[in-house]
Chain A
């Protein structure tokens, strides 16, 4: 099942049924008219929608999460990519008719989001990516307006001036000098410009919040993203160990593309169209399997090394814990089976009872961000 199949068609912010809630300020037109605000008809007797939103700014996808007053969670997702094409009246007209999102930049049209990815595959081109290895890409200086548009589209406008947004940032990388300070400052500035109050949460910690509630937020949350894998070992909500590795879905795509001699976008498409790692068919799937195994093994080994290097400051878990895998890269078929295979090969320092997929792998981080926003409110 591809990402596209997993996503449901839905409303966009500012839909016709949106209306301003009583008491909301509409100053400067910056207040979102939430499509889920249904006045007194809500099941929780007219309780106001919980303020605070979650935002997963990922290398491959951007996912925003919001809770309506009836407790329903909505995730809005867009691919974090763009593609520039020759700008002419005909192309512009066609894109408008086909409802393909674009931005006019000089004499060129920049197609953004999922459509950019699809067009890149059709024309055998590579998409441009605003982010690389989990952080804003230094080589894509023109990308800021694009990523801002995508975030604005997913997040919508704040329901109240200064509404909190918890967005995820990568943890310190073990294999790359990642400048999280600039990345964090940039998105904080962007969100403030959108009249939100930004807060950050480490990505792996967000997975723990989003997926380990039943275990009292104790266990290991892993986010297999496009640019990196984030790890958080937590004990009763408190992170004991967080770090990231600068390898993810893009690393797999890059290597598969190199060995097969195909564009990276095509490797991504092959990976997302429904590969099963447990029973790879053909050379393409074999190559994907090899690099997935390598990635998982690398992550597990790093957890082991980091945990053992600082064993005195690590919590001693009284009971075996769960490992939960989230992120778009973990959504490939047979991922957990391969993960268990690789796990069995190393002497893991933490007793583990269960290894499982997140209930909503692609939304787990955004969900965790939303929970963080909710408890802060």
Chain B
């Protein structure tokens, strides 16, 4: 039962005592010593403790045994608990070791990646350096890396601007088409008026020709619009005047050539009068023959120019021979002749 004791008295005694010789004792003046067995001391202490516990708590021997038993149970429970904790602790340590191992692996991977990154950075710097060289080369006319980007940007901007311009132009075109349609309507009306007038001219001309040939012609019925009444009245008086002139000419057969000229002159006068009248009507309906371009004379710009000192007269100008143009001229003449034949 010694192992169940809380205190190993023997061991305690052994630890707190020392071994000596008889001579040493004698030297210290000890001639007689009392000797006690360690087993007995242990037994005495145990007995003493039991007695103290029994007297101090009022418990009997059985109670003490029960107490010891409970204490032992408690001890076992505590021991199991501690063992469990220890086991958990060991498990945690194991997990920690695993984590540490993982951490080591991660650190190694991180280090490896850092090295890779450094390598990539180095390569990137090398590429940047090459790009810079290319840009410099482009600026000096050896390459076009930078120009390409500028060109793309420029084209993109141009495209956007062109789109806006296109839209604006489309709007303008639509507006112009509307205006054009209105103009066409006005033009159609004017053309009808013009055709009516031309018909009148044709009939009057025919009448004049008949008169010139000595024939009697009935005046053509005038299918005219109300606006032209005034004009026709005026024309009628012109025609009457022509008739009178022609009769006069006809009464002088010896002067045929002169008569022809008189007819021609009169025709010209009529034509001029008709043109004037047509222009007048044209203005009323918003159509005009249009003003003739007046000649612009800018000769005076060169009047005050003094001769400049130059060597140009001593310098040759580039010169080359070409194919002839006689074929082209002949063809134009031929076309003109064909047109002339058709007219006649």
Contacts of B331 in A (CB 8 A): 213-214, 216-217
Interface residues of A in 124-167 (CB under 8 A from B): 144-145, 148-149, 152-154
Report yes or no: B316 in contact with A9, Cβ–Cβ below 8 A: yes
Report yes or no: B326 in contact with A11, Cβ–Cβ below 8 A: no
A210 to B144, CA, bound (A): 42
Report yes or no: A95 in contact with B311, Cβ–Cβ below 8 A: yes
* Residue from A78, A186, A189 whose CB has the most chain B CB atoms within 10 Å: A189
Report yes or no: A74 in contact with B308, Cβ–Cβ below 8 A: no
In-complex Cβ contact of B318 among A71, A77, A112, A188 (8 A): A77
Contacts of A148 in B (CB 8 A): 302, 305
A145 to B312, CA, bound (A): 12
* Chain B window 310-325, contacts with chain A (Cβ cutoff 8 Å), 1 for yes, 0 for no: 1111111111111111
Report yes or no: A112 in contact with B322, Cβ–Cβ below 8 A: no
A235 to B325, CA, bound (A): 20
Contacts of B151 in A (CB 8 A): 259-260, 283, 287
Report yes or no: A237 in contact with B315, Cβ–Cβ below 8 A: no
Report yes or no: A375 in contact with B301, Cβ–Cβ below 8 A: no
Q: Does A182 contact B (CB under 8 A)?
A: yes
Interface residues of B in 299-344 (CB under 8 A from A): 299-302, 305, 308-329, 331-333, 335
Contacts of B148 in A (CB 8 A): 283
Residue of A nearest to B306 (CB): A145
- Tell me, rounded to whole Å, the shortest Cβ–Cβ distance linking B295 to chain A: 8
Q: Does B254 contact A (CB under 8 A)?
A: no
- Tell me, rounded to whole Å, the shortest Cβ–Cβ distance linking A4 to chain B: 8
Q: Does B297 contact A (CB under 8 A)?
A: yes
Contacts of A7 in B (CB 8 A): 318-320
A216 to B296, CA, bound (A): 34
- Tell me, rounded to whole Å, the shortest Cβ–Cβ distance linking A19 to chain B: 18
Contacts of A184 in B (CB 8 A): 296
Q: Does B147 contact A (CB under 8 A)?
A: yes
A99 to B314, CA, bound (A): 7
A154 to B328, CA, bound (A): 24
Q: Does B186 contact A (CB under 8 A)?
A: no
In-complex Cβ contact of A99 among B300, B316, B319 (8 A): B316
* Residue from A12, A74, A282 whose CB has the most chain B CB atoms within 10 Å: A12
A193 touching B302 in the complex, CB below 8 Å, given contacts A101-B311, A216-B335, A261-B150: yes
Report yes or no: B329 in contact with A76, Cβ–Cβ below 8 A: no
Contacts of A209 in B (CB 8 A): 328
A76 touching B319 in the complex, CB below 8 Å, given contacts A104-B308, A237-B332: yes
* Chain B window 191-224, contacts with chain A (Cβ cutoff 8 Å), 1 for yes, 0 for no: 0000000000000000000000000000000000
Report yes or no: B312 in contact with A101, Cβ–Cβ below 8 A: yes
Number of chain A residues whose Cβ lies closer than 8 Å to a Cβ of chain B: 74
Report yes or no: B323 in contact with A371, Cβ–Cβ below 8 A: no
Residue of A nearest to B146 (CB): A261
Q: Does A338 contact B (CB under 8 A)?
A: no
Q: Which of A220-228, A317-325, A348-356, A359-367 contacts B (4 or more CB under 8 A)?
A: A359-367
Report yes or no: B301 in contact with A189, Cβ–Cβ below 8 A: yes
Contacts of A185 in B (CB 8 A): 295-298
Report yes or no: A11 in contact with B316, Cβ–Cβ below 8 A: yes
In-complex Cβ contact of A363 among B298, B301, B305, B322 (8 A): B322
- Tell me, rounded to whole Å, the shortest Cβ–Cβ distance linking A78 to chain B: 6
Q: Does A96 contact B (CB under 8 A)?
A: yes
- Tell me, rounded to whole Å, the shortest Cβ–Cβ distance linking B120 to chain A: 31
Q: Does A8 contact B (CB under 8 A)?
A: yes
A371 touching B329 in the complex, CB below 8 Å, given contacts A74-B322, A104-B308, A189-B299: yes
Q: Does A341 contact B (CB under 8 A)?
A: no
Contacts of B325 in A (CB 8 A): 67, 73, 367, 370-371, 374
Report yes or no: B308 in contact with A105, Cβ–Cβ below 8 A: yes
A144 to B296, CA, bound (A): 18
Contacts of A283 in B (CB 8 A): 144, 147-148, 151
A153 to B312, CA, bound (A): 7
Report yes or no: A189 in contact with B324, Cβ–Cβ below 8 A: no
Q: Does A75 contact B (CB under 8 A)?
A: yes
Q: Does A27 contact B (CB under 8 A)?
A: no
Contacts of A8 in B (CB 8 A): 318-321
Contacts of B298 in A (CB 8 A): 182, 185-186, 188-189
Report yes or no: B310 in contact with A104, Cβ–Cβ below 8 A: yes
Interface residues of A in 80-104 (CB under 8 A from B): 95-96, 99-104
Report yes or no: B293 in contact with A374, Cβ–Cβ below 8 A: no
In-complex Cβ contact of A149 among B155, B308, B322 (8 A): B308
Report yes or no: A104 in contact with B309, Cβ–Cβ below 8 A: yes
Contacts of B312 in A (CB 8 A): 101-103, 112, 149, 152-153
Q: Does B133 contact A (CB under 8 A)?
A: no
Q: Does A17 contact B (CB under 8 A)?
A: no
Contacts of B333 in A (CB 8 A): 375
Report yes or no: A217 in contact with B319, Cβ–Cβ below 8 A: no
A189 touching B297 in the complex, CB below 8 Å, given contacts A73-B322, A101-B311, A236-B335: yes
- Tell me, rounded to whole Å, the shortest Cβ–Cβ distance linking B287 to chain A: 15
* Residue from B301, B314, B319, B321 whose CB has the most chain A CB atoms within 10 Å: B319
Q: Could you list 17 examples of A-B contacts with CB < 8 Å? A: A7-B319, A8-B319, A10-B317, A14-B313, A102-B311, A102-B312, A105-B308, A181-B293, A185-B295, A189-B299, A189-B302, A192-B299, A214-B331, A216-B335, A217-B331, A283-B144, A363-B322
Using CB atoms and an 8 Å cutoff, list the residues of chain A in contact with chain B: 6-14, 65, 67, 71-78, 95-96, 99-105, 112-114, 144-145, 148-149, 152-154, 181-182, 184-186, 188-190, 192-193, 209-210, 213-214, 216-217, 236-237, 258-261, 282-284, 287, 290, 309, 359-360, 363, 367, 370-371, 374-375
Using CB atoms and an 8 Å cutoff, list the residues of chain B in contact with chain A: 144, 147-148, 150-151, 154-155, 180, 293, 295-302, 305, 308-329, 331-333, 335
The 3 A-B residue pairs with the shortest CB-CB distance, nearest first, are: A10-B319, A185-B296, A213-B328
